Amino acid sequence: MFPKYRYAILSVCLLSVFCFCVSSFAQSDESLKDASNPFRALHFRPLGPVGNRAASIVGEPGNPLVIYVGAAAGGIFKTEDGGVTWRPVFDDQDVAAVGALAISPVQHNVVWAGTGEPWLIRPFYPMGDGVYRSTDAGKSWTHVGLEETGHIARIIAGPHNSEGAFVCAVGQAYRTQHERGVFHTGDGGKTWQQSLFVDENTGCSDLAVDPHDPQTLFAGMWQVDIKTWNLNSGGKSSGVYVTHDGGATWKKLSGHGLPAADHPLGKVAVGIAPSDSNRVYALIQDSTPSLYRSNDGGATWTLVNESHLPSERSPYYTRFGIAPDNPDLLYFPSVSWSVSKDGGKTLADDIVPAGGDNHDVWIDPLNPERILDANDQGANISLNRGKTYEHITLPIAQVYHVYTDTRIPYNVFGNRQDGSSYYGPSNNLELGFFGGQIGAGDWKSYGGCESGFGVPDPEDPDIVWSGCYNGGLDRTNLKTGQARSVEVWPDAGYGWAPADMKYRWHWTFPIAISPFDHNKVYVGSQYVHMTTNGGQSWTVISPDLTTNDKSHQQNSGGVSFDNLMTFDGAVLYAIAESPKQQGVIWTGSNDGQVNVTKDGGKNWTNVTKHISSLPPWGTVMNVEPSHFDAGTAYIAVDLEQVGDYNTYV
């Protein structure tokens, strides 16, 4: 349990019904004190559910009591009693995603934090605003620059100077830019030098320093471009780079056992064995994941492993740790947790999994028995070299959408990333030890899965519709506990290019219930599908309401494919029927198309050309029909994934 934050804070991608309330908190504290501000009386309160995604982790060397965990979208949590209690130490900052953490080896109260999530595979991940530094063990933080770097994957704290650090920045994955690569400071972040810049499409995915020669560093450089319709991971600029003069000059390594210089590669992880500087490893996204080993400090290399386990879904994972006392002992956080005891040649079959969907690993340089793992369920702590793990759950849940039912007090519904669907009470009226507070046990699952919408029936709150990727759809009866799959087209599309699918589905496809007939439910692929019999059968009531641009429906992933409904630029994202006039239905797509029908789907009109000043290829996140006029609707459009960060309403 958490001493101050006993329950998880709901971290949400909010629907328009909540937008006005939440947007007010983006204003200054002074504006909230203004008597004319209608939102001044509103405040946040923690509801739940518990969980989940930790992006980075670091411990104080030699001190098993102190650990910092950086969340994918929940700031930084710290423990000072070995994981018994945790407290948030980053909530006052203006950014939620912490992708990299480092503690100064020479002054443990100096902590560095790199913001922005570096694990990029889904349509949504928070961007950062640079680097933060604490000189009092996380009690206070100072923003120290690199605002434009977007996503920071690694920070190397100076081994002999607490003011020094190297930063490995992926960059803003949605646009070309110069502010990516490797940066260095020697004065605590007052000034920065760009140590390694390859090109405007290539950032840094990993960085390692030789503990015996801090002038020698290896960098994994990653050419990546992400759009709504494609994660293009890889290119000729990706690869392993090395410096032997503290970053003044760098050289790309190719040949001598590594792939040729013009061979396209994807994401790259690098590591130097702390006990043997001549032992260097590189884990590289290629047509198959490839682990290379050097026994001579990077002069020559040997391909030692091509298993998918160490780097399954390479654009997402690709990281490893090396035991401080054994250059042959490697830990691979990925979809599963794998270990090699023979320098990468084979994977051991006698290990205890640390967790699932693992991202970051840290091994105490002063105590190799102590291993920390950050994953999509929280964090894991081992004090016996991985024989057993203690699992830590923090209040950092990522919830896609929020709906409420009609009960009193009402329940709150949402689908939690890398978890399940959850619903819980807005108020707990029961008295007892917690005095009516909402506890973890008050939250329950209701079908569907990690992604998507959870929509309760407005007339029968025991019935809930919940989505999942690949077009998965459940209809759950909360009273009986029965959950039934009612998906439109029960065909597994994993691995297929969207263009080859009968129906294309967004990772979080829209679900809407008619305000006039609660038995009439709509879901969206590239079409609008309707059921009136609880999902027993479905009728297509629209043409393709997207641009149907086939170039935006191809394989995603880059040098190795990763088709999991996360990147398709021609699917519906929003459906809403007017509460004023039956049959007036609006849709919005993730390629910027807005359509409307006035007769329940018999005829549709594309009104996109009537939206002035709207750039192409945006995602229509919400359509909110007016509650007062049947012809009026509001839309919110997100163009972040095409490099446009402006607001469009």
Residue 564's pLDDT is what?
79
- Does the pLDDT of residue 594 top 70, yes or no? yes
Residues 6+ apart with CB under 8 A from 263: 236, 254
pLDDT in tens, 27-36: 455 555 678 8
For residues 593 and 25, which has the higher predicted lDDT (pLDDT)?
A: 593
Other residues' Cβ atoms within 10 Å of the Cβ of residue 373: 28
- What backbone phi and psi angles, to 5 degrees, belong to 18? -105, -5
Residue that is written with structure tokens 């006052």 in the block: 92
- Does the pLDDT of residue 6 top 90, yes or no? no
pLDDT band at 487 (very low <50, low <70, confident <90, very high): very high
- What backbone phi and psi angles, to 5 degrees, belong to 422? -140, 145
Q: Which of 352, 324, 322 is nearest to 338 (CA)?
A: 352
Q: What is the 3-class SS of 559-591, one letter each residue? A: CCCCCCCCCCCCCEEEEEECCCCCCCEEEEECC
pLDDT band at 10 (very low <50, low <70, confident <90, very high): very low
Contact 15, 622 (CB under 8 A): yes
Residue 431's pLDDT is what?
60
Q: What is the 3-class SS of 234-251, one letter each residue? A: CECCCEEEEECCCCCCCE
Residue 435's pLDDT is what?
62
Contact 69, 379 (CB under 8 A): yes
pLDDT in tens, 324-358: 999 999 999 999 999 999 999 999 999 998 888 99
**Identity of the residue numbered 369:** E
Here the tokens at position 49 are 């559910």
Other residues' Cβ atoms within 10 Å of the Cβ of residue 569: 28
pLDDT in tens, 510-564: 999 999 999 999 999 999 999 999 999 999 999 999 999 999 999 988 999 888 7
Q: Which of 189, 187, 116 is nearest to 148 (CA)?
A: 116
**Identity of the residue numbered 42:** L
Q: Is the peptide bond before 52 cis (omega within 30 degrees of 0)?
A: yes
Dihedral sign (CA 624, 231, 571, 334): negative
Residues 6+ apart with CB under 8 A from 486: 473, 474, 475, 531, 534, 535, 536
- Does the pLDDT of residue 25 top 50, yes or no? no
Here the tokens at position 46 are 């923690």
Q: Which of 235, 226, 15 is nearest to 124 (CA)?
A: 226
- C-alpha span between 389 and 373 (Å, rounded): 9
Q: What is the mean pLDDT of residues 484-505?
A: 91
Residue 16's pLDDT is what?
28
Residue 31's pLDDT is what?
59
Q: Which of 476, 470, 474, 421 is nearest to 450 (CA)?
A: 421
For residues 256 and 29, which has the higher predicted lDDT (pLDDT)?
A: 256
Residue 103's pLDDT is what?
98
Q: What is the mean pLDDT of residues 436-444?
A: 86
Residue 56's pLDDT is what?
98
pLDDT band at 22 (very low <50, low <70, confident <90, very high): very low
Q: Is the peptide bond before 49 cis (omega within 30 degrees of 0)?
A: yes
Here the tokens at position 431 are 């008295």
Residues 6+ apart with CB under 8 A from 23: none
**Identity of the residue numbered 600:** G
Contact 273, 280 (CB under 8 A): yes
Q: What is the mean pLDDT of residues 353-366?
A: 93
Q: What is the mean pLDDT of residues 156-168?
A: 96
| DSSP type of residue 65 | T
- C-alpha span between 635 and 623 (Å, rounded): 5
Here the tokens at position 407 are 């009960």
Query: Beta partners for 42?
Result: none
- Does the pLDDT of residue 23 top 60, yes or no? no
Q: What is the mean pLDDT of residues 217-232?
A: 95
pLDDT band at 432 (very low <50, low <70, confident <90, very high): low
Here the tokens at position 462 are 């025991």
- CA 598 to each of CA 61, 228, 582: distance values in angstroms, whole numbers, following the listed order: 65, 29, 8
**Identity of the residue numbered 357:** D
**Residue-averaged pLDDT of the chain:** 92
